[in-house]
Amino acid sequence: MVVFGRVGVVLVIVAPGQGAQTPGFLGPWLEDPTFAERIEWLGTVAGIDLAHHGTEADADTIRRTEIAQPLLVATGLVAALELFPHPADAFARVGAVAGHSVGELTAAAGARAITAEQAMVLVRERGKAMAEAAAVTATGMTAVLGGDRDEVLAAIDKHGLTPANDNGPGQIVAAGTLEQLAALADEPPAKARLTPLSVAGAFHTEHMQPAVARLAQLARAVSTHDPRFPVISNKDGRVVHDGRDVVARIVGQIASPVRWDLCMDTMSDLRVTGILEMPPAGTLTGIAKRNLKGVETFALKSPDQLDDARDFCDKHGESSAFDASPTWRMVVSPGKGTFHLDEAARDAVDLAPGATIGDLASSRDRTTVVARHGGQVVEWLVEDGDLVSPGQPLVRLHPAGGPA
């Protein structure tokens, strides 16, 4: 049996979503001329004065979807360059990345699945499209804190609402029309506290479908690369190692619930020891403290923390298995479970793009695993019936047409 498992230390870098921004938060960062120049460049790409919005704009202004989202993504990306001035520094330390909602674009660009410029174009259009979709119907979001999970979900469903963000036990966000939210407020779940959120609409619900269509159109023109780190997806907590799939999931997520609870389950399966949150930090590390006991966290809020943040990365850093053979392609496990090898793939010399190599059976479901790019089989790294971890390499392939 092939045995695989991370031991020792694992660092996960996370990027926050909309709502993490506060007036003036970018001020200290812009004192660094290099940071300021990079923010100006990304702002130019996005067509937004990010420096102004991050320093002088008031809370109501930066709450606007079309402003908040580019501001968050740009800040995370430029701060990552401050934290890891040389990409190899990150490759040698980061075990996985994840982003909450729009933070997935930060994570995707940080993992090199897309470029920073592509991320800024996508987030610019994402913010605009979501704002336009929110203007069609009066919708909103309400945090449901506490209460029995099953009872909370039943109450949300009863009123036709969507559990748009599932951030773990005791933290579910309901989203839908204002009438539906009012009905929930009149009949709340037992022992639960309801807090209306100051957002423009019901994000991550069917009300955002027009925005999905707009982003899907743009995404077809985006060139992608396989990420350099495992990317943990909001959709289902799966580890993704195909650039096209990373982007497709980000697009679909606009109208689908954010399953941060499942992302944290995957972090636990990866045996994470440290979570570092990019600025404006605090939200995701706070959730991690409540749900991932024993895992150290670091909320990077200001540039004077950079040296301590680098020490944190040194303490918890472990290179990604994805970087071990960069000239080859790896097909990796999307999650934790038992891998069952496909009979046809077992004896194949070449795998066609999209060929099934097996399936992963977990306690939640059974997932088909495919070789999206195809290629010549160099080495199977697991056997039929092996227990595998999220992101574990399953088979090593030479790209089609590559050297033998």
CATH code: domain of residue 346: 2.40.50.100
Asked whether residue 314 falls in the same domain as residue 266, the answer is: yes
261, 290, 322 - which closes a domain: 322
Which amino acids are annotated catalytic?
101, 204
Asked whether residue 124 falls in the same domain as residue 217, the answer is: yes
Local confidence band at 325 (pLDDT 50, 70, 90 cut-offs): very low
Instruction: Assess if residue 5 is contained within a domain.
Output: no
Alpha helix segments (H runs only) across 29-97: 33-46, 50-55, 59-63, 65-83, 87-91
State how far the alpha carbon of 365 is from the alpha carbons of 325, 337, 358, in Å: 30, 9, 14
- CATH number for the domain including 155? 3.30.70.250
SS3 state of residue 196: strand
Q: Does residue 200 carry a pLDDT above 90?
A: no
How many CB atoms are located within 10 Å of the residue 290 CB? 13
Distance CA 109, CA 116 (A): 6
Q: Which residues contact 197 (CB under 8 A, 6 or more apart)?
A: 19, 140, 141, 142, 143, 173
Per-residue pLDDT at 8: 54
Local confidence band at 92 (pLDDT 50, 70, 90 cut-offs): confident
pLDDT, mean of residues 175-197:
96
For 350-404, what is each residue's pLDDT tens digit?
A: 999 999 999 999 988 899 999 988 899 999 999 999 999 998 999 989 876 544 3
Per-residue pLDDT at 169: 86
Local confidence band at 195 (pLDDT 50, 70, 90 cut-offs): very high
Which residue carries 């793009």 as its tokens?
A: 353
Contact of 125 with 132, CB cutoff 8 Å: no
Asked whether residue 87 falls in the same domain as residue 215, the answer is: yes
Instruction: Assess if residue 312 is contained within a domain.
Output: yes
Q: Does residue 173 carry a pLDDT above 70?
A: yes
- CATH number for the domain including 289? 3.40.366.10
Asked whether residue 121 falls in the same domain as residue 252, the answer is: yes
Local confidence band at 90 (pLDDT 50, 70, 90 cut-offs): confident
pLDDT, mean of residues 166-170:
91
pLDDT, mean of residues 157-163:
97
Number of Cα atoms under 13 Å in the Cβ half of residue 234: 30
Per-residue pLDDT at 88: 78
Distance CA 50, CA 9 (A): 36
Torsion angle of alpha carbons 253, 256, 257, 261, nearest 10°?
Answer: -50
Per-residue pLDDT at 6: 43
pLDDT, mean of residues 100-116:
97
State how far the alpha carbon of 375 is from the alpha carbons of 17, 114, 127, 355, in Å: 37, 22, 38, 10
pLDDT, mean of residues 42-50:
96
Torsion angle of alpha carbons 118, 119, 125, 127, nearest 10°?
Answer: -170
Q: Is the dihedral of CA 194, 267, 104, 317 positive or negative?
A: positive
Instruction: Assess if residue 90 is contained within a domain.
Output: yes
Local confidence band at 218 (pLDDT 50, 70, 90 cut-offs): very high
Per-residue pLDDT at 91: 80
Contact of 279 with 79, CB cutoff 8 Å: yes
Q: Does residue 3 carry a pLDDT above 70?
A: no
Per-residue pLDDT at 319: 60
284, 306, 322 - which closes a domain: 322
DSSP code of 8? S
Instruction: Assess if residue 404 is contained within a domain.
Output: no
Per-residue pLDDT at 363: 87
In terms of residue numbers, what domain contains 152? 136-196
Asked whether residue 111 falls in the same domain as residue 216, the answer is: yes
Q: What is the CA radius of gyration of the chain?
A: 21
Q: Residue 199 is encoded by which pair of tokens? A: 């957002």
Asked whether residue 379 falls in the same domain as residue 296, the answer is: no
Which of residues 85 and 274 earns the better pLDDT score?
A: 274
Per-residue pLDDT at 401: 52
pLDDT, mean of residues 94-106:
96
Total-model pTM: 0.87
Number of domains in the chain: 3
Per-residue pLDDT at 138: 95
Q: Residue 217 is encoded by which pair of tokens? A: 């159109």
**Exposed (0-12), middle (13-18) or buried (19+): which is 58, by Cβ within 10 Å?**
exposed
271, 297, 322 - which closes a domain: 322
Instruction: Assess if residue 2 is contained within a domain.
Output: no
Asked whether residue 242 falls in the same domain as residue 111, the answer is: yes
Instruction: Assess if residue 403 is contained within a domain.
Output: no
pLDDT, mean of residues 136-150:
95
For 219-262, what is each residue's pLDDT tens digit?
A: 999 999 999 889 999 999 999 989 999 999 999 999 999 999 99
